[in-house]
Amino acid sequence: MEATKFTQKMVDCSLLDKGTASPFSPGDKRRGLPQWDKDRCIRCGICYLYCPDGAVYRTADGYFEADEKKCKGCGICHRECWFGVICMELEG
């Protein structure tokens, strides 16, 4: 049996687009919002790349924040940050 090529696996597993939850107002159902500690952030952009909803945006000073309307509080940015810069703050 021929092994599946890595590139084919990437196609099979990838999401088509970011931000597909936006029409459902994911922010309304959120229980936690990520908070960034800028003093420890190296501005690598990993949190921006990993957010499945395109909720992380770059600020004018080169750091990152979450758009409260798009963020669903999944915590992926918190989990993927190399330096533990992002904490999830419980809401409500």
In the complex, the residues that contact ligand SF4 under the rule CB under 6 A are 34, 36, 41-47, 51, 53, 55-56, 64, 66, 71-77, 81-83, 85-86
Collect contacts of 5-10 with beta carbons under 8 A, ≥24 apart. Answer: none
Minimum Å gap between C-beta 23 and ligand SF4 is 15
Nearer to ligand SF4 (CB atom), residue 8 or residue 91: 91
Minimum Å gap between C-beta 9 and ligand SF4 is 23
C-alpha 49/C-alpha 56 separation (Å) is: 8
Counted residue by residue, the chain has a size of 92
Q: Which two tokens stand for residue 52?
A: 């499945």
